[in-house]
Structure 1
Amino acid sequence: MKKSYPTPTFRKPNSALVMMPKVGKLTAVSRKIFNVLLHTTQRQVQAMNHEGKIVEATHYFSARLDELVDPVEVGQSNLTSSAKKSLLEMRRTEVDWEAPDANSGVIWSSMSLLSEAKIVKTGGILYAYWALPPGLLSVIADPQRFTPIDIEQLSRLKTYTAVALYEICVRYKNNPTGLTSENHLEWWVDALTQSAPKLDPKTKKPKLRLWSKFKSEQVNVAINEINSKSDIGIELIEKKTGKAVTSAQFKVWRKSAEVAAITSGFKMSAELALTATTLGLSLGDIASLIKLGHDENVLRIALVKLEARIGRDDLAPVDSRMAYLRAVLSETQGFIVSVPLIAPIVSVSLTAQTSPELPKILSYQEHRRLEIKAELLNINKVDQKKYAELALESLQKAGIATTTISRKVESGDWMTGVLFSKMIEAYAVEQYGPNWGVALNADKQF
């Protein structure tokens, strides 16, 4: 039986968001598969660390071939051929890496994306095996600063420039300013181009690619693609020195849950969309279930059960939330709900009298808090303890820390009450800064 792909949110290190090819060429499909491969690597490293195992730099990671290819919707019948092509591109491509807002320049350069790669058939099933360069493995294994990348969102984008631009811009979707860093035009061309620049036969130096042509042929297309198919909206802002355009940046904003639900291609309520994303599920996942014929009321009940299961600290963590949701739906198949579900889905102040237009009654900070709560729930218990300790320190300073709260931190029982509330705030400040709950427009509602 084919395994279901895990919750497709990849904590991609900020220093690995910008890939500037210096040797070789990378297609949009290969870049998307590379993200799935890195996400799989990260999950396997975390599992090994949890078991107390040491990950050697020469370690081979592995996954079923279909689990690497299916999430990005390659759409080719010959799975082996398409996978081989992408793995070969990764082996042959060398890139310079940069953070989208780095001041120190290139983080590391001229590194192949993979050290080794092979495909093996075992028991009639194809598996991919790969090893990463040590520098890349170390930052993927334990990213200190990262951007959550939704693999499903990437799967909708077809051009390389759109995929590359989305990865950069999504870094800023929760930033109060909503603006990417300003960079010179050559930087943007290099960051959004899938291959190294051609050499001038006379000077033997890389040919400069004109921004005006590149913008017209690729950037504008990518902007339209991102705005029409993803969960964010972007706008190009060009800066001039005199009359000449010399630098550029992008304005980025999150689409409301209702708009994002429409973008996903299937009609769903904004309430269902927000509940799903709060629990770490992509709208594409929910849309696929609706496409299969699952009633929205049944989906709501299944999501309530999923949220309750996630909160069970006495049980093992849910490895794949989507797989668990499918299992619940399978158990409730044929169950018909004749009246609207009254019980609140999300653990904020919702009552039976609350308007169903959920995104319009939540404040920006409440909406962000739900998203951040979902992120915190997605990290392992070892990493969560850091924020539990920060929360305890905050409560101690306020003079309201009790012996019971201290014991909860030591025992790992921190998913309730004021302790967990402070954990969410500690995580939010560390990941997004002290203004994590401040919108550009203070009156903005979701």
Structure 2
Amino acid sequence: MYKANSSPTFRKPNSALVMMPKVGKLTAISRKIFNVLLHTTQRQVQALNHEGKIVEATHYFSARLDELVDPVEVGHSNLTSSAKKSLLEMRRTEVDWEAPDANSGVIWSNMSLLSEAKIVKTGGILYAYWALPPGLLGVIADPQRFTPIDIAQLSQLKTYTAVALYEICVRYKNNPTGLTSENDLEWWVDALTQSAPKIDPKTKKPKLRLWSKFKSEQVSVAIQEINSKSDIGIELIEKKTGKAVTSAQFKVWRKSVESGAITGGPRMSPELALIATALGLPLGDITSLIKFGQSESVLKIGLAKLEARIGRDDLAPVDSRMAYLRTVLAETNGFVATMPSPSVAVSLMPKAPADLPKILSYQEHRRLEIKAELLNVGKVGQKKYAELALEYLQKAGIATTTISRKVQSGDWMTGVLFSKMIEVYAVEQYGVNWGVAFDAQEQL
């Protein structure tokens, strides 16, 4: 789970960017909460996979109700009523999912947004529980092609058309051409409208909505809203056949303020950026830590400890992940300079933040240290352990085609594959008793 101020980035599958309601209606608030809900689902799936657990389609995901609502700035005057209304909209809305271009894997599917949803009060706190349709859960859990959606940016937009248009356009902000795909006008109307078209009582077919009216009433307002409140700028480009407008696309660019915010400053490796993003940490804050002297090796150790702390469901949620990371870094800096080489089987136990000693066992501490070592090996060195881990998972009968593909592509930083890589590395470097304290080893 994450707090509203953590600037989370959601890896939204391209095949789920365009939602065309066919039954029901979805408000702007409900669509934004739905993104938060999907992001929460994605992170919980990753945490379960990291533990080697398989997530079934019937699995219930959960979150505190206020943590689903806070990121999109909904008033809390009646939290239960507001959240219930949005969850009901998600349950009752049936949509066509379409990718914004023809090169994004699955380019069309049809389903409801949620399979089930409920609100439960436990210990005076309201929690939401939900289950996703199997097809949607599959692409959310492990997106092969995705667009980073900044929930904080999305929360600034108030109209449904602006939210829907931002999700489509932000995919192209780093594209060299800066142009979305060109689609016919009816496609854009369906993609940017919050409800299914009305049925003509005479023809029994959906009524066509005029582009000119929709553009003046909805699209123009959305463009102004995106240009004034988000991190991108957009411009409508209409295409004509003869004198009639028949199709449209959008020109997209990154705001200059964003692109120039940290130019000339310290840079981080793509690997470190990937780890920080997966934990929902603003890259600007990580860059600031590097600027003030933190090394990447120390940061990776700190991030590993933060990840372990977040995964403890028996403890209260971390209120501020950056504050917790800074505490860990302050403690870590006292021992990292004297950390031994992998060939020396010694455990240097740093003084941990206040709640860590009663949380982590010796083996869990060693696992964090070894994970940090493996992160410092680099991609070339890690590949050996990825292949060994894959071989083990294949023998155990739990290696999926997705896991095999991750090994080939070098995308092995999360899930059961990386968990097994840590163990393979630990056994090779320190032997089978890598997670056993010295006094315990003497008794073996």
TM-score greater than 0.5 by the shorter chain: yes
Residue matched to 1:29 = 29
Residue matched to 1:356 = none
Identity of aligned residues (%): 73
Flag the 1:106–1:146 CA change in 2: closer, same or farther, 3 A. Answer: closer
Matches within 5 A, 1:126-165: 126-165=126-165
Matches within 5 A, 1:167-246: 167-246=167-246
Whether 1:324 aligns to 2:321 is yes
Aligned-pair CA distance for 1:312: 2.5
Residue matched to 1:52 = 52
Residue matched to 1:436 = none
Flag the 1:274–1:122 CA change in 2: closer, same or farther, 3 A. Answer: farther
Matches within 5 A, 1:92-103: 92-102=92-102
Output the amino acid matched with 2:253.
W
Flag the 1:306–1:37 CA change in 2: closer, same or farther, 3 A. Answer: farther
Flag the 1:272–1:94 CA change in 2: closer, same or farther, 3 A. Answer: farther
* CA contact 1:302–1:328 (8 Å) conserved in 2: no
Flag the 1:258–1:149 CA change in 2: closer, same or farther, 3 A. Answer: closer
Question: What is the RMSD of the two structures over their aligned residues, measured on CA atoms?
Answer: 4.0
Aligned-pair CA distance for 1:142: 0.9
Q: Secondary structure, in 3 states, of the residue corresponding to 1:312?
A: helix
Flag the 1:131–1:300 CA change in 2: closer, same or farther, 3 A. Answer: same
Q: Distance in 2 between matches of 1:328 and 1:230?
A: 28
Matches within 5 A, 1:299-378: 305=294, 309-312=298-301, 315-316=304-305, 318=307, 323-327=320-324
Flag the 1:53–1:303 CA change in 2: closer, same or farther, 3 A. Answer: farther
Flag the 1:47–1:328 CA change in 2: closer, same or farther, 3 A. Answer: closer
Output the amino acid matched with 2:221.
V
Aligned-pair CA distance for 1:410: 6.9
Describe the superposition over 1:322-345 as per-residue Cα deviations: whole angstroms up to 9, x where unpaired.
93323467899xxxxxxxxxxxxx
Q: Secondary structure, in 3 states, of the residue corresponding to 1:15?
A: helix
Q: Distance in 1 between matches of 2:253 and 2:30?
A: 27
Q: Secondary structure, in 3 states, of the residue corresponding to 1:311?
A: helix
Flag the 1:47–1:7 CA change in 2: closer, same or farther, 3 A. Answer: farther
Q: Distance in 1 between matches of 2:61 and 2:53?
A: 14
Residue matched to 1:80 = 80
- Larger displacement relative to structure 2 (155-164 or 317-326): 317-326
Q: Secondary structure, in 3 states, of the residue corresponding to 2:218?
A: helix
Flag the 1:105–1:183 CA change in 2: closer, same or farther, 3 A. Answer: farther
Residue matched to 1:378 = none
Describe the superposition over 1:214-263 as per-residue Cα deviations: whole angstroms up to 9, x where unpaired.
111111111111111111111111000000000000111112345787xx
Describe the superposition over 1:26-50 as per-residue Cα deviations: whole angstroms up to 9, x where unpaired.
0000000000000111111111111
Output the amino acid matched with 2:219.
V
Output the amino acid matched with 1:4.
K
* CA contact 2:116–2:130 (8 Å) conserved in 1: yes
Q: Distance in 1 between matches of 2:383 and 2:174?
A: 32
Q: Secondary structure, in 3 states, of the residue corresponding to 2:170?
A: helix
Flag the 1:90–1:271 CA change in 2: closer, same or farther, 3 A. Answer: farther
Aligned-pair CA distance for 1:206: 0.8
Unaligned runs of 5+ in 1: 262-268, 290-296, 333-380, 393-403, 413-422, 429-446
Q: Secondary structure, in 3 states, of the residue corresponding to 2:70?
A: helix
Whether 1:252 aligns to 2:249 is no
* CA contact 2:302–2:325 (8 Å) conserved in 1: no
* CA contact 2:3–2:70 (8 Å) conserved in 1: no
Aligned-pair CA distance for 1:18: 0.2
Output the amino acid matched with 2:108.
I
Output the amino acid matched with 1:133.
P
Aligned-pair CA distance for 1:76: 3.9
Q: Secondary structure, in 3 states, of the residue corresponding to 2:320?
A: helix
Residue matched to 2:108 = 107
How many residues align structurally?
Answer: 335
Output the amino acid matched with 2:69.
V
Aligned-pair CA distance for 1:311: 2.4
* CA contact 1:161–1:218 (8 Å) conserved in 2: yes
Residue matched to 1:61 = 61
* CA contact 1:21–1:95 (8 Å) conserved in 2: yes
* CA contact 2:17–2:98 (8 Å) conserved in 1: yes
* CA contact 1:272–1:300 (8 Å) conserved in 2: no
Q: Distance in 1 between matches of 2:214 and 2:68?
A: 31
Flag the 1:307–1:195 CA change in 2: closer, same or farther, 3 A. Answer: farther
Q: Secondary structure, in 3 states, of the residue corresponding to 2:22?
A: strand
Describe the superposition over 1:4-61 as per-residue Cα deviations: whole angstroms up to 9, x where unpaired.
3555111111000000000110000000000000011111111111111111111100
Output the amino acid matched with 1:54.
I
Unaligned runs of 5+ in 2: 311-317, 330-370, 390-405, 412-444
Q: Distance in 2 between matches of 1:260 and 1:127?
A: 40
Flag the 1:331–1:45 CA change in 2: closer, same or farther, 3 A. Answer: closer
Q: Distance in 2 between matches of 1:405 and 1:137?
A: 29
Describe the superposition over 1:260-307 as per-residue Cα deviations: whole angstroms up to 9, x where unpaired.
87xxxxxxx8778998x99567xx998xx9xxxxxxx9x668975596
* CA contact 1:32–1:154 (8 Å) conserved in 2: yes
* TM-score, L = length of structure 2: 0.65
Point out the structure with max Rg over C-alpha.
Answer: 2
Aligned-pair CA distance for 1:119: 0.4
Output the amino acid matched with 1:326.
A
Q: Secondary structure, in 3 states, of the residue corresponding to 2:121?
A: strand
Whether 1:4 aligns to 2:3 is yes
